Amino acid sequence: MEEIAKDEALKVLERIELGLKEMPPQPRTVCEFLLKNHDRAALMSVKEVAEACGTSPATVVRAATLLGFDGYRELKEALKRLLIKGKKGVWWQFEEALESGPSESPRERLLKVLFEDAEAIRASATELLSQEFPKACQMMERARQIAVFATRTTKPAALYLHIMLNQFLHNVFLLGNLHADEIFDDLVDLNEHDLLVAISTAGPHYARLTIEAVEFARGKGIPSILITTELSHPAAPSASVVLPVSAPTGHHSLVPVLSLLDALIVELTARKKNAARRKLKTLEALLVEKQIDI
């Protein structure tokens, strides 16, 4: 068959759809996978796509070439740009909420937000998250120190994780606790036995420091977990494990992220129940003695 001409006017998904009609069977299988999983494929290697399609890396490269790309790398970059371009930022979500108008009553807004949050939690229960979650738990269980980091609108989530884990662990701290610019002062002391947990949502304008922190950790051999709402996050390729959650469509929310953090906390509590039990009893007795509300 003739190669599909490279036409910048065609969007990447339209080119893939065109490939479904014109390609031989094996490259067509690759196109079917890319069309259904373009968000995942944006972060997958040639080998990973080939394994997912039950074909060879050469076939994946051939499919990309027939689609008019110079190779799979260029196709992958196009998929990343597609995700970033199509993502509505947190400020757009704030603006949409402000412009919802007086037609909605307070009760209607309440139910709308609750239903959207619930739907985002349900949508977060993906096969990919189920596969990556045990890896993240194992990394957190084995880590000598756990550094938690987030900025701006996701910083409350990092604070929540730190407070909850600190109830039964002794090795958790907030990265750059005094000031975000001091994160590298803390990171430089970590090594391959430690762990960085970075929380970053609200793309496409992601916090620069979060991206740099994850990239620095990779360069220094420090394992890292990235919790995000987008697989296209610029820090994702540098993270050891990516835990993706969905985001509500009509408003900005940390609820899906907090639900994932709750799952991590519950699992770590179960894995470290003896240590957790000892620290909680000691902490409870101290708080009662000091007459501090528990």
Which CATH number belongs to the domain containing residue 59 in this structure?
1.10.10.10
Instruction: Provide the token pair at 186.
Output: 């803390």
Out of 33, 60, 86, a domain closes at: 86
- Give the closest residue to 218 by CA, choosing from 202, 198, 200, 199: 198
Question: Does 202 lie in the same domain as 136?
Answer: yes
Query: pTM score, two decimals?
Result: 0.68
Containing structural domain, residue 131: 125-289
In this structure, the answer to whether residues 140 and 241 fall within a common structural domain is yes
Asked which of 56, 86, 116 is the last residue of a domain, the reply is 86
- What CATH number did the domain enclosing 217 receive? 3.40.50.10490
**pLDDT tens, per residue, the chain with 294 residues:** 333 333 343 478 778 877 777 788 899 999 888 877 777 788 788 999 999 999 999 999 999 999 989 999 899 888 877 665 555 555 445 555 555 556 778 888 899 889 999 998 998 898 888 989 999 999 999 999 999 999 888 999 999 999 999 988 889 999 977 666 678 888 999 999 999 999 998 665 567 889 999 999 999 999 999 999 887 788 888 999 999 998 887 788 899 999 999 999 999 999 988 877 777 778 778 888 887 775
145 and 280 inside one domain: yes
| Full DSSP string of 215-284 | HHHHHHT--EEEEES-TT-TTGGG-SEEEE----SSS---HHHHHHHHHHHHHHHHHTHHHHHHHHHHHH
Residues 146 and 271 in one domain: yes
Q: Is 179 inside a domain boundary? A: yes
- Judge if 139 and 230 occupy the same domain: yes
Give the residue from 62, 86, 110 where a domain finishes. 86
133 and 78 together in one domain: no
Q: Is residue 223 part of a domain?
A: yes
Identify whether 52 is part of a domain: yes
Number of domains the chain contains: 2
107 assigned to some structural domain: no
Pairwise CA distance, residues 60 & 51, whole Å: 10
CA distances from 253 to 43, 93, 109, 177, 236 (A): 25, 9, 14, 23, 21
Write out the E strands in the chain.
146-149, 172-174, 195-199, 224-228, 241-244
